[in-house]
Structure 1
Amino acid sequence: MKATTIKASRKASAGVKHALLILLSFIAVFPLYWMIVSSFKNEAEIFGSALLPTAPTFSNYIYAFQSMPIWRMLGNSIVMSVLMTTLQLCTSLLAAYALTRWDFKGKKLIYGLLSLCWLIPVQAIMIPNYVTIVNMGLKENLLGIVLPTAATAFAILNLFQVFEAFPRALIDAARMDGDSEWGILTRVILPNIKASVASLGILLFINSWNDYMWPMLITSKLENAPIQIGLRTFVSSDTNMWGALMAATTISCIPILLLYLFMQRQIVDSFVKWGIK
């Protein structure tokens, strides 16, 4: 009797947990569903509470494509995000390796300064960066968006922890075999930490894709801007084109959705990993 009661209690507890997870999943997914549904609604229905449009229309998508160069801006976003992610991974790998494997004066000071840089808000360095980029003649250029974020304290400090946990015996063995520092990094360390590097890369790509403030300062022409900047063209002080905005936003989410579909396991692992840290 007691075993039956315990079994029933466990089933009830599992049922409550599953119900809670279903509810939370619905809350998380519903805004995405509402965005897609709203992109097919006309002006009369856009503020309605109907879960499905009574008269679906593609006029919002047509207007969005006519209002801005969506494909060009999507290409800008992809190039920008790939370059930013690649540069940040390269610089953070080299910096983390140097900080963990080499002993030199000022090592602890550099690590402390990097930790402090992580606490500095981006808004505090936007004006100096903007002046530098303008003087370099990189305004209205994707390089002007990418270069100031080529190295970040976030990526360096996270890989620093990964390198610190790597067995030193393997590195010492590679050195005894006559391998160079570059060979140790590329042939010994990287193959064993590729999961951590991939997780960090996914987070960096998503952050780069969603970046708004800095690209807005550097670009004023839509053909030179990422897709996130183009979305603001549908919102103004006079009128807000909500249907077209939902259509353009839906299109802008497609690359990230494809990234998630192909790498959902790595994305979930990356958020769990960095969340625990």
Structure 2
Amino acid sequence: MTTKSRPPHVAAHAVMLLLSFIALFPVYWMFQTSFRASNEIFSSALWPNAPTLDNYRAVLATMPILGILQNTFLMAATTTLAQVVTGLLAAWALVRWTFPGGRIAHTLIALSWLVPFQVVMIPNYVLATKMGLLDSIAGLVIPNAAAAFTMLVIYNAMRGFPRAVIEAARMDGAGSLRTLMGVVAPNIRAPLASVSILCFISAWNDYFWPLLLIRRVENSVVQIGLQFFMTQEGNDWGLLMAAATLASLPILLIYLVLQRQVVDSFIKSGVR
């Protein structure tokens, strides 16, 4: 039986290796192109003959890339924190308390997940304009401070939490908020970590809302900073690849450090 089952496993691994190569090769090509001189950009060699850091020096000189990365990290971290906190509180309310319209509220939140953000971008833009949030990190964070997906993931994790433990905490005199933060949240760390990683990656890669809100390159995030840079530098692919590498480096480092947690987040974050 083991001998018969081996060929399918070999074929599956071969397909996975092929797909991994297809996914990773563009990243490698971006990286090695960033070290090419302008007269070597269109060479088909897998590595430049004379690697140079000139492209990176030019990017650092012409583009505030470090400030843009700082803006992006601040925006992504703040958005993640806001979404996890609001999702945790909303899920706790739906799981812990029984109130009229609770099922309707849960259904409406779930349905709002199906509405693309592009549908509400214009109303959000009008509101941000009236509140004076244009061209600011706060304007990027506040419309995304709550996410239905985050609430649903945490809600599913809380539903399986033993009610006897919650009742024991209540009998010991713990209030609702203390029970949530001191008993429930520490015991669902894995789902919270998973959804936090997904929220951070999603916020880091966001493009449409920053494109609509940001006006100045020094206030931009990486996606919009690259857009400005592409407009300014045209088809200088060495500079563009160097800028793209610098923009991708933080999220790639996060993935390398938290590889297991990132993979688990995609496996465990399915909404039942």
TM-score for the superposition, normalised by structure 1: 0.92
Q: Please give the per-residue CA displacement for 1:183-211, whole angstroms capped at 9, x wherever unaligned.
A: 11011111110010000000000000001
Partner of 1:83 in structure 2? 78
C-alpha distance in 1, partners of 2:107/2:11? 46
Matches within 5 A, 1:159-178: 159-178=154-173
- Residue number in structure 1 paired with 2:256: 261
- 2:56 is aligned, of 37, 42, 61, to 61
Match of 1:22 in 2: 17
Q: How far apart, in 1, do the equivalents of 2:242 and 2:103 lie?
A: 50
Instruction: Tell me the SS of whatever aligns to 1:243.
Output: helix
From 194, 217, 237, the counterpart of 1:242 = 237
1:36 aligns with 2:31: yes
CA distance in 2, matches of 1:238, 1:223: 17
Secondary structure in 2 aligned to 1:178? coil
1:21: Cα distance to partner? 2.9
Query: Out of 136, 140, 164, which is 2:135 matched to?
Result: 140
Which of residues 96, 101, 112 is equivalent to 2:96? 101
Q: 1:215 and 2:206 equivalent? A: no
Alignment deviations for residues 215-253 of structure 1 (CA, whole Å, 9 cap, x no partner):
121111111111211111233499322211111111111
Structure 1 residue 186 and structure 2 residue 211: aligned? no
Tell me how far apart the structure 2 counterparts of residues 47 and 82 of structure 1 sit (CA, whole Å): 38
Q: SS of the counterpart of 1:120?
A: coil
The one of 99, 105, 108 aligned to 1:113: 108
In the other structure, the counterpart of 2:247 is: 252
What SS class does the counterpart of residue 235 from structure 1 fall into?
helix
Structure 1 unaligned runs (5+)?
A: 1-5
Taking only aligned residues, the RMSD between alpha carbons, in angstroms, comes to 1.8
Q: Under a length normalisation based on structure 2, what TM-score does the superposition of the two structures give?
A: 0.94
Q: CA deviation at 1:25?
A: 2.2
Q: Number of paired residues?
A: 272
- How many percent of aligned residue pairs carry the same amino acid? 47
Contact (CA 8 Å) 1:234, 1:240: kept in 2 or not? no
- Give the gaps of 5 or more residues in structure 2: none
Instruction: Return closer, same or farther for 1:204/1:20 CA change in 2, 3 Å cut-off.
Output: same
In structure 2, the residue corresponding to 1:41 is in which secondary structure? coil
**Partner residue of 2:193?**
198
Task: Tell me, in whole angstroms, the C-alpha distance in 2 between the residues paired with 1:232 and 1:28.
Answer: 23
